Amino acid sequence: MTLISNIIHNDFIIIASDKRRTVIVNQNEQYSVDDEKKLLLGINYAIGVQGSLSTKNEKYLIKLREFVSSNEVNNPLEIIPLIFKLFPDISNDENCSDLNLTFSGFFENSLFSYYLKLKTNEIINCLKTDTFSIRFNNENNKDDDMLVRRSLLYIKVYLQENNLYDRIALPNITEFERATIIEALNFMYSKFHNNDLDFYTIGGEMEYCIFSNNAIIQTNL
């Protein structure tokens, strides 16, 4: 399992990822390695990849990396159809349970953010639809979605330990400063990595990128 986080603020977007991948040796043996780069960075965008990164039929992540390296700057409304055309047979790949992309960045002095479900050819405009301006993988509702609630609970612990939040309710993290959000996300990823048996396939150090409406503000990619 991958954890791609997407935080939409009025002035910036933060996209982040873990680095854990699962290596399947055979039907009865598998192990985890924390060295995968799941955030692919162009000049004006980043793509977070979540799902079946490779099957016996297709090396999805490798193809996406090659695509980003040759399409560094582009209009998102032009690049999305090209992404879907990369894998015309993905709906028939029974070894690919799903392949979803979080696609965020800036273009012509505006932020953009989309969630692409490649198996089902769905496009979600996160700026228009995402509840509370957050998305953790395919989840965006802190009242109903388990991964969102667990993520926000860890963020709440960080904020409370640093005397930044004293309420019972889960926090609206878009109310906080950019540096605070990054530190809270870092804490959240470390909690998944070290302690969370329910989501044991999330792990490794957090990678991230922050976009304003006309630049990359900060990244560790």
The identity of residue 156, as a single letter, is K
Mean pLDDT of all residues in 77-100: 92
What was the pLDDT predicted at 74? Answer: 81
Task: Judge contact between 183 and 193, C-beta under 8 A.
Answer: no
Residues 6 or more apart from 91 whose CB is under 8 A from it? 119, 120, 121
Q: What is the pLDDT of residues 107-129, one digit of tens each?
A: 999 999 999 999 999 999 999 99
Helix (H, G, I), strand (E, B) or coil at 85: helix
What was the pLDDT predicted at 153? Answer: 96
pLDDT band for position 25 (cuts 50, 70, 90): low
Q: Which CATH number fits domain 4-140+199-219: 3.60.20.10, 3.40.190.10, 3.20.20.105, 3.40.50.11030?
A: 3.60.20.10
Q: Residue 88 burial by CB count (10 A; 0-12/13-18/19+): exposed, middle or buried?
A: exposed
List of E strands, the chain: 4-8, 13-17, 21-26, 29-33, 39-41, 45-51, 99-107, 110-117, 122-125, 134-136, 207-211, 216-219
The mean pLDDT value of the chain amounts to 92
Q: What is the pLDDT of residues 39-86, one digit of tens each?
A: 999 999 999 999 888 888 888 999 999 999 998 778 999 999 999 999
List the chain domain ranges: 4-140+199-219
